[in-house]
Each structure stands twice: as C-alpha cells, then as structure tokens.
Amino acid sequence: MTSVQSELISSIRSIPDYPKPGIVFRDITTLLGNPKTFRRAIDELVHPYAGTKIDKIAGIEARGFILGGAIAHQLSAGFVPIRKKGKLPHETVRIAYSLEYGVDEMEMHKDAIVPGEKVILVDDLIATGGTAEGAAKLLQQMGAEIVAACFIIDLPELGGRRKLEALGVDVRTLISFEGH
C-alpha cells in the first residue's frame, strides 16, 4: 500500500450497519472536509489524464458532482450532471438501471454530449455497479467515447468494476475496501 492510499483510507469514515445491518458505509465527507486529502484524491484521479484531450466529465448524482466538478476544472473540461429522473429542467435522455432491490432511472440533458466527445465518468464509489453501468450505457447511447470511469473507492467483492469493464470501459480507483 502506498502512502497516498494509506492517507486516503485513513481519511474515510466507516459507519457499520448503515444503511442496514451487515453493511459498512464508506463516508467520503471526512475526506472532502480535509483540504489536503481532498486535493490529493483529485490530483490522483486527474494525473493519468493530464495533457490528454478530455471534453467532458460526467458526474453521477450527488457525490460525483463534487468530485466531477473539481476534476473538470483541473482538466479544463466541461461538466455533465447525470441525475435521478425528473431533476433536470431541459429535454433529457433517460435510462433505467438496476438497484440492489429494484429499478430506478437516471437522465442527462439531451444536448450535453456531442457524439465522439471524450468523457470521463466520475463517482465516489463503485460497489455493485448498477448505477455506474447505467450511466456508462447512457453516455454510450449518446455517442460519448468513455475514456475511463473513475472512483475513489472500489468494493471489489461486489463486482461493479467487472460490469463496466464488460462494456469496454477502463476503470480507475484509488483505494479498495474488502467486504460490503
């Protein structure tokens, strides 16, 4: 484990039995509240793409907005919010995606992506991958070239990374936690 990984892991609060018994919630608000670790996480997510032409950063509601905005700024890219159904004011495109217990829908503005644009998808954590997979499919449906999907945290036992890789999406994570 690198010193960066140790620093990031120690900055994340783990909350047992939330939102239900047996789950350990990985809370990044403590990382975000610390200027040094917030900056370090953004720098580590941006580094592989510095000097590369990235057109847009697509952030998944809500923590993906925080990270995505900072990454877009660092890469001089535009920002595209991917939101829950009914939250965007203009014409949208929508996709249904699987949750652990059911189905939900997410959307983005119809004019947010021009076909062929190079896009990085961002969220705080990849677990089962249902939300990230839905977002990736939505971006691909709009003609985006997804350069990568970036997350601070991977929960590898839950298999989300594999779902994105099956879509041909490169996945970058900074740290991982075992278990749920």
40 an active-site residue?
A: no
Q: Catalytic residue among 63, 83, 161, 172, which? A: 63
63 carries an active-site annotation: yes
Instruction: Give the chain as a DSSP string.
Output: --HHHHHHHHTSEEEET-SSTT-EEEETHHHHHSHHHHHHHHHHHHGGGTTS---EEEEETTHHHHHHHHHHHHHT-EEEEEEETT--SS-EEEEEEEETTEEEEEEEETTS--TT-EEEEEEEEESS-HHHHHHHHHHHHTT-EEEEEEEEEE-GGG-HHHHHHHTT--EEEEEE-S--
The residues carrying an active-site annotation are 63, 100
